[in-house]
Amino acid sequence: MRIPVLMSALCALVCAAPAIAGPLKLNDKGYFETRGVNVMVFSNWYDGLFSDAKISGVEIIHQGVRTATNGDVRLMPTPGQWDEIGQMSDRKFDPATGIIETTLTYPAYDFTYVMRAVPKGEGVEITINLDKPLPAALEGRAGFNLEFLPAAYFRKSYMADNKAGSFPLYPSGPMKTLADGKTEPLPLASGRSFVLAPEDATRRVTVTSADPINLYDGRNQAQNGWYVLRGLIPAGKTGAVISWTVTPNSDPNWVRPAMIAHSQLGYAPQGRKVAVIELDRNDTSPASARLLEVSADGATTPVLTADAKPWGQYLRYDYRTFDFSSVTKPGLYMIEYGSQRTATFRIDPAIYAEAWQPTLEVFMPVQMDHMFVNEAYRVWHGDPHRDDALQAPLNQDHIDLYASKDTTDTRFKPFEHIPGLNVGGWLDAGDFDIRTQTNYGVVRNLVETWELFGIDRDQTTIDQDRRYVDIHVPDGQADMLQQIRHGAIQLIAQFDSVGHAINGIVEPDVAQYTHLGDAVTKTDGLIYDPSLKAGEVVGNRSGTRDDRWAFTNKSSSLNYGSIAALAASSRALRGFDDPLADKALGIATRVWDEEQSHPPIIFQHGNTTGGPILNEELTAAVELLITTKDPKYAKRIEALWPQVEKAFPPNADLIAKVIPYMPKGFKARVRPAVIAYAAEVKKMSTANPFGVPITEAGWAGSGRVIDFGLTNAWLNSQFPDVIGTESVFAALEFLHGTHPGSNVSFVSGIGTVSKEVAYGANRADFSFIAGGVVPGVLILKPDFPENKEDWPFLWGENEYVISQAPIYIQLVHRARALSEGVK
């Protein structure tokens, strides 16, 4: 009796035909949609830096969450971010016929295919079409993959030809060893019909095929892997060699809950307070919102009810605004709109007083290279890279945008140890390289904030002699000055070791680059000695060539950027570390004269060789003028002005900063450029309901938002009648939760609800580093804002970058000064 009952229950769960929203239709934006479901087909393209950025091919947005991506022909069951991908040569869509066709090629194999997608039933039929049979070299290798987000299917089940299974929470599936010694996953399940998450209508997807499909767990090979459905392309066939029908479950009544974007940190009493309410276009909820005050006993009292003012459409959502600026009473509050309530936030005159502290006192110490970093019972990492660094080989097009030419531009031969580089500097991001361009930017921005606000807080022990850091342990010295010194030490070491600024120091191979865990375990910490056998150790040398590489080709941009930071650091370090201040300024003035004696050396590759030469030379001139007051630097700034005027926005802050040190009349020359820029600011501030420029590219734009606020603050200091300070608060509120897609704060640990799963060296632990700033909202073309809060491995959304730390600290202090009237 029990078996028929169970079978009936299972059939009721899986086989029932609930109401559906109707067939998917191809819209004029180029993707398929129905109520609660979107299926995109190459609306986005792979990131050129890492090949696989999980934003391309066939993608599913299911009830407001992107759950599947990378539907494409791949050459491995669970490819990683550096594995081969096809090249898209053509994409066309026709709303009249409902068809999307994309042509792609693997040139190395002379293999071209056409992916065709067309609505079928309640889903989409996806076919891979060949004019010629699969090349012999790809037989058994090429297949159609569709990847599903593990976090969306954790604690859920699947059915393969009606046989039930569960998605593993932690990777534990079977593996096999290949002939070359590498490994790859074996299938978790196989079948011609898969139902993912049959028990969850918001995640249920049915995939059917006349040919076998395998389910793999890509996390066995890499922690950032996804669950993969894969069907091999058969050999010797042409035409439609793969044909899948993919049917995400839809709901005719689904409405995405309203999202109330607001500052998770809170607001100053006299400041502007505007929440932005993001609505599904089918949302018919009431148009009024309430501000509730929360008392000590948990009771809530409405203090303001007002209409949410329609703003209009942006991307795929409708927006309304709720202005509660009139409420100035300090206290604890939340916002209510329809059935949604926010987390609590404060109105407090000292709201910005502490928001910057975790960034300076936790995140920045954790990112310090060449230091043992301790926090109470925890060791963040040991003293890494004591074996820095080997001269990089010639003509190397390396990972992470590092490259070398046919000369080293140093006295060192390829793979020869360069002494003196194993000091100072910060790890760039969630990886472990020292990127010089980033490091000198951090130093300059720290100095700028120090000089503006004199932050002398001491909560961290930083001992350069012992190469030791202890978080939350004061040592009697200002943390900001110690961080400035740490960055300057690395910049100075480059000039001492090779005579000029270098591109940076980076891992020698992908295996090291993808390292997760304590950075000290990446290498043996011993200097490579080619006279020793692999694994042999003599003193502080070993025969293991695991040392990082130094990319050393000359670039005038890098030299200018580095000496700008050294000139600035000499001011901050004066009276704190006079010998280092003297050395920094000596290098800066000497290298300036050297660079001015010859045409600039231009070496451009990615983002590791310095910014535009104009910007970098201007920066050096500005910092040297402020430091030395020597009129020759002012003359050079005046000579550069006609070019700078044409490229004003990225240099506007520098120009505003240097005006007090320039001859009379210079400010008047600048004013027309500021007026023109102000008009652009107005356009950017009204282009979306959040009042800041939102980046629509492969790396989200928290950094651009911060720069927007700081640039306008600098211009306001010189041209208050032209540029206001509204963008300072708009930028900060954007970071703290007033942005599209969600209302999570993009600064970990700041605000009631903040980023708790982010991409640092900690990402495999699904954790965060307090004070780290993530890139934020990634706009997936054409109209989907995303920042995943349950999956840290999307670097374009969730990767901490050291360069964001000092500018966030300054932005908070700008807001504090404006709201409290303090320095």
- pLDDT tens across 400-450, in order? 999 999 999 999 999 999 999 999 999 999 899 999 999 999 999 999 999
Q: Are 791 and 149 in contact (CB under 8 A)?
A: yes
pTM over 0.85: yes
Nearest to 334 by CA among 301, 309, 307: 301
Cis peptide before 689 (omega within 30 of 0): no
Structure tokens belonging to residue 116: 């065709």
Helix (H) or strand (E) holding 548: none
Name the β-bridge partners of 461: 470
Gyration radius of the chain's alpha carbons: 28
Instruction: Give how far Cα 800 sits from Cα of 154, 430, 599, 750, Å.
Output: 25, 6, 37, 14
Instruction: Give how far Cα 422 sits from Cα of 293, 373, 386, 547, 560, Å.
Output: 54, 16, 5, 11, 22
* Count of all residues that appear for the chain in the document: 823
What angle in degrees, to the nearest 10, is found between the helix axes of 702-718 and 726-735? 160
Q: What pLDDT, on the 0 to 100 scale, is given for residue 285?
A: 81
> Torsion-angle region of residue 517: left (phi > 0), alpha (psi -120 to 50) or beta?
left
Amino acid at 589: T
Q: Are 34 and 253 in contact (CB under 8 A)?
A: no
Q: What pLDDT, on the 0 to 100 scale, is given for residue 49?
A: 62
**Tens digits of per-residue pLDDT, 27-42?**
999 999 999 999 999 9
Q: Are 433 and 426 in contact (CB under 8 A)?
A: no
DSSP-derived secondary structure for 178-243: -TTS-EEEPPSEEEEEEEE-TT-TTT-EEEEEEEEEEEEEGGGT-TT--EEEEEEPPTT--EEEEE
3-state SS class at 368: strand
Amino acid at 213: I
**Residue 160: CB partners within 8 Å, gap ≥ 6?**
189, 190, 191, 193, 194, 215
Whole-angstrom distance, CA of residue 498 vs CA of residue 504: 12
- Under-50 pLDDT residues of the chain: 1-17
Q: Are 517 and 432 in contact (CB under 8 A)?
A: no
**Residue 73: CB partners within 8 Å, gap ≥ 6?**
86, 104, 113, 115, 128, 142, 143, 144, 145, 233
Amino acid at 310: P
Instruction: Give how far Cα 583 sits from Cα of 412, 449, 554, 574, 765, Å.
Output: 24, 22, 21, 11, 42
According to DSSP, the β-strands at 143-148 and 227-232 are: antiparallel
Q: What pLDDT, on the 0 to 100 scale, is given for residue 822?
A: 63
